[in-house]
Chains A and B, each alone.
Chain A
């Protein structure tokens, strides 16, 4: 299978980046292929060279991370569209890649898995754009086919603050055994579900 991973950044030492790196190296090990799309902040990263990493520049300065992220996502969409339908599942990370993940998933009719590493509520809800960020998280949870969280606290927030259905939400803690295997299992299930001709309008 071919996996498309979206992450706001991809650099050594950063939490979400390391999460993505771990998953993709495991996928390569198991004979699958992975493309990681993220913002090119110019920093160093290291990863198994079979992982296709594409970091894109964002030719746009915004007044805040919300507006900037929206344009970042448009650049991610451009990169992904050039790969066209060469992927089977999309894995977005946090609200910063929700617009890209949702749009690509809808257009190419591929399943979307969204990992919420933390919610805006958990982060304190004290940014100028907190309400909009939270709304985007809510929409991402609504539009995604599966929501992953890394701990029980996040799960509670996703269930109660973002109205995620219980059966769509799963805790996969990256500090537990077999966590990557469980993510691969999720990919496989989602692809299977999407191929079944139900809920097609």
Chain B
């Protein structure tokens, strides 16, 4: 199969989770003998071949008022490039990722008359609502994507139902395929970890990784911090991620002072070191279609305390690979974190189980095979 991936971000350009998802998926497909072509944004036009994947970049505009019109403009640039590429290399179908690529993908689909597969990673409704005209337009684009696509892939089991009902997607064109973890990346990582950058010798790291926005629930964890420290004074919270960092930092510092640290942007290298050396990660999300953090932590043999929402209902098995807390419930978070801190042997056992489960269930080889299965359905429809 030769799919044309359309994504607004592809490493090294990376803001959310879609970049890594596309890279891992495309690279695995190439390993399996397929021939994926990636068409994405870049500051200037360029072509690159990496790990068996052909990557083309086109620039967008500097004068966009907002992300929406920026994405629409990018759509037209991507579509022009796709048409140029198609003259020399026919692709079998278009695979678009999230609303930012809907304009491009439908333009290509309609002009070249190709099947289209659309992966929904999250919805506007779930992210921050559809109250304004701007938000509704994004919502409409998401709908348009699911409507135009021959097959729709969703990344979470519960999320699959959400997409089905929000956009009225017929069952026969809807699939659930989870995200995966590139275990090699985790196993090859061997950077030295300098704990003193983050915590004192006797402290134990409790790690949060995610954008600092209400959706990811950093506020609920911050609320839980004092009662965790009361019972386990050796706890030290490391809050990684961009977003409204200053806002949360101020609140957290007021509550627990030196017991919390916001390192700001953390490189992949350091993040893996942190994950490997943390006692546990905490994922207090309010809304989470999939939630990759528990699986990444699992790859590092670290257990996660995560809210019982969306994808984390599947990526964490309570008291076997981690612990569930009630969503938006700081009391529940502190209860579960304290349980894990008070029984370190048990917590390690949870981490080991988590790793084993990822090895068995969340490998890209498997996910790529499922995805090409969906391609087949789209092409044969």
Contact = CB atoms under 8 A, between A and B. Distances in A.
Contact of B111 (A60, A66, A77, A139): A77
A102 B69 CA distance: 19
Given A70-B72, A81-B113, A61 B103 contact: no
B68 interface: yes
A129 B137 contact: no
A63 interface: yes
Contacts of A135: 61, 63, 73
B143 to A, nearest CB: 8
B110 A63 contact: no
B61 to A, nearest CB: 6
Interface stretch (B35-43, B76-84, B288-296, B345-353): B76-84
Contacts of A139: 76
B214 interface: no
A67 B69 contact: yes
A132 B83 contact: no
A60 B102 CA distance: 12
Nearest to A80: B111
- Interface on chain A toward B: helix, strand, loop, or mixed SS? helix
A5 B311 CA distance: 49
Interface stretch (A38-46, A103-111, A144-152): A103-111
Contacts of B147: 59
A132 B71 CA distance: 12
A81 B69 contact: no
A140 B305 CA distance: 53
A71 interface: yes
B111 A104 contact: yes
B367 interface: no
Interface band, chain A: 20 to 34
- Interface on chain B toward A: helix, strand, loop, or mixed SS? helix
Contact of A77 (B84, B107, B141): B107
B133 interface: yes
A74 B61 contact: no
A128 B110 contact: no
Contact of A70 (B64, B76, B110, B113): B76
A196 B271 CA distance: 59
A153 to B, nearest CB: 24
A128 B73 CA distance: 15
4 tightest Cβ-Cβ pairs between the two chains A and B = A131-B63, A78-B110, A63-B137, A77-B110
28 contacts: A60-B141, A61-B137, A62-B137, A64-B69, A67-B68, A67-B137, A70-B75, A71-B103, A71-B106, A71-B141, A74-B103, A74-B107, A75-B110, A81-B113, A99-B76, A103-B83, A103-B107, A104-B111, A106-B80, A106-B84, A107-B83, A107-B86, A107-B112, A132-B65, A132-B69, A136-B73, A136-B76, A139-B76
Interface of B: 61, 63-65, 68-69, 72-73, 75-76, 79-80, 83-84, 86, 103, 106-107, 110-113, 133-134, 136-137, 140-141, 144, 147
Given A71-B141, A74-B110, A81-B110, 11 more contacts: A59-B147, A60-B140, A63-B136, A70-B72, A71-B103, A74-B106, A77-B110, A78-B110, A103-B76, A103-B111, A128-B65
